[in-house]
Structure 1
Amino acid sequence: MTERHAETEVIGVAVVEDQAETREGISFLINHTAGFECRHVYPTAEVALENIGIDPPRVALLDIGLPGLDGIEAVRILQERHPRIAPVMLTVYKDNDRIFQAICAGACGYLLKQTPPARLMEAIRQVADGGAVMSPEVAIRVVELFRKAPVRDAGWVALSPRERELLKLLTEGHQNKTAAAELGISVHTVSFHLRSIYEKLHVHSRSEAVARALRDGLVK
């Protein structure tokens, strides 16, 4: 087994997947990659939501086609109850409707199950660091989805000029540190502006803010 990093550096991950073989395979990969730990494995969203707050992970990987409550609705509830846990969809579905619903629900990433192991672990680390990730096929669909979406009048949204600048950087893929450097402000100030953006747009996460910005034409 690969030697772990110090406990403070370990990224805790939860896996919500109804297929036992897939669930065990992902947890095995996580536990045998330095710097990661699979803290929870759940066969259903209901069980996950009931127990995930005990030793909460930094990242949660969720299938969409779960029995009972589906993964997208689970993400929505997870964001309300545990906003510090970053949810990522790990699924076979790549249709526009599910992708859009997952992003709007608050998913920080959308990966297909055929994602190579090394890329999956890299994606988990990126999400843990505050980023957002997508499989290439999904990213292409997202670009097309928002390109075709009608631009709505966003004049009513009371975002300040600096908040609009930050929102534009988020849609370009910047994380807090790089956005702070680009704007010449501290990471703490970026976090302050993010909270204000979330409140004004009535969203709960970075991915929701980006989806809203692209869908409603809040940035050019």
Structure 2
Amino acid sequence: MIRILVVDDHPGFRAGLRTLLSTAEGIEVADEAASGEQALALVGRTQPDVILMDLAMPGMGGIAATERLSRDHPHIRVVVLSMSDDDDSVFAAVRAGARGYVLKGARKAELVRSVQAVAEGGAVFGPALASRLMGYFSGRERAEPPLPGLTPREREILGLVAEHLTNPQIAARLGLSQKTVRNHVSAVFTKLQVADRAQAIMRAREAGL
């Protein structure tokens, strides 16, 4: 059963979404929140697998809430559910850690597929948004890779550090020895002039890794 937390400041929309998802097999709406602050307060108690997150809300908006959730609860997947499809909103959501972006008004089947895919570790942005994301990031890669002072292997390891993987986990993922990973991580810290993993993660996110 995939547990969902719905975050939107409009009670009517939350109620409609709950009704829509209540008939989907394998999905349970665990709770609702009307703001980013309320969502952060609820995650510990409700333990959702996926959060459906609106962007424009009073107080803490969806981008800031997604960033906090990605940092403090990386096992919880956030899918943005928004009326906005402009590039700034989509890219900001991706940078904040959203694993999906679905436009409000999407059909039930699309929404259910998105929730299931993200819960299984995938990412869903829909054909139109995905093509724009691919164009944006491929354009950046052609221009200059992020953090050009790092080698491709160091960028890869920094990306895994930003996913909160430990050195043994990175070693297992890449098929390297733990000593080799430690050496790479040390080189990354030196090149980025950071003191610890938290600062390295901040630099990685700023660079869009």
Same fold (TM over 0.5): yes
* 2:144 is the alignment partner of 1:151: yes
State the TM-score, normalizing by the size of structure 1: 0.69
Cα gap change, 1:201 to 1:138, in 2 (>3 Å) = farther
Partner of 1:52, secondary structure, is helix
Equivalents in 2 of 1:191, 1:129: separation in Å? 21
Per the alignment, residue 37 of structure 2 pairs with 46
Provide the C-alpha distance between the structure 2 equivalents of 1:152 and 1:116, rounded to a whole number of angstroms: 37
User: Which structure's CA Rg is the greater one?
Assistant: 2
- 2:130 aligns with one of 133, 139, 150: 139
C-alpha change, 1:147 and 1:129, in structure 2 (3 Å) is same
- In the alignment, is the contact (CA less than 8 A) between 1:96 and 1:145 conserved in 2? no
Q: Is this contact kept in 1: 2:90–2:101, CA < 8 A?
A: yes
In 1: Cα distance, 2:94 partner to 2:48 partner: 20
Deviation at 1:155, TM superposition (A): 4.5
2: CA distance, partners of 1:21 / 1:191: 47
Q: Is the 8 A contact 1:30 1:37 kept in 2?
A: yes
Which whole-Å deviations, capped at 9, do the CAs of 1:191-210 have from their partners, x for residues lacking one? Answer: 998xx79x69727x9xx69x
Match of residue 172, structure 2, among 148, 173, 189:
189
Say if 1:70 and 1:146 are closer, same or farther in 2 by CA, change over 3 A.
same
Gaps in structure 1 of 5+ consecutive residues: 1-9, 168-187, 214-220
- Residue 153 to residue 32, structure 1, CA distance change in 2 (3 Å): closer
Identity between Structure 1 and Structure 2 (%): 31
Cα distance in 2 for residues equivalent to 1:39 and 1:112: 22
Partners of 1:63 and 1:91 within 8 A in 2: yes
1:202/1:159 CA distance change after superposition, 3 Å: farther
- Listed as ranges, the matches of 1:116-131 within 5 Å are 116-131=107-122
Shift of 1:55: 2.6
User: Which residue of the partner structure matches residue 183 of structure 1?
Assistant: none
Deviation sequence 1:93-134 (CA, Å, 0-9, x none): 111111111111110111111221111101101000000001
Work out whether 1:212 is the aligned partner of 2:208.
Answer: yes
Measured at CA, do residues 78 and 140 of structure 1 come closer, stay the same or move farther in structure 2, by a change above 3 Å? same
RMSD over aligned CA atoms reads: 3.4
Counterpart of 1:160 in structure 2 is 153
Higher relative contact order (CA 8 A, sep 6+): 1
Runs of 4+ more than 4 Å apart: none
Question: How many corresponding residue pairs?
Answer: 179
Normalising to structure 2: TM-score of the pair? 0.72
1:14-93 matches, within 5 Å, as: 14-93=5-84
| Distance of aligned partners of 1:30 and 1:104 in 2 relative to their CA distance in 1, 3 Å threshold | same
Residue identity matched to 2:149:
W
* Distance in 2 between residues matched to 1:29 and 1:80, nearest whole Å: 30
Check 1:41–1:191 CA distance in 2 against 1; reply closer, same or farther (3 A cut).
farther
Deviation of residue 135 (structure 1)? 2.0
Return closer, same or farther for 1:145/1:153 CA change in 2, 3 Å cut-off.
Answer: closer
Q: Which residue of structure 1 aligns with residue 100 of structure 2?
A: 109
Q: Distance between the aligned counterparts of 1:58 and 1:51, measured in 2? A: 13
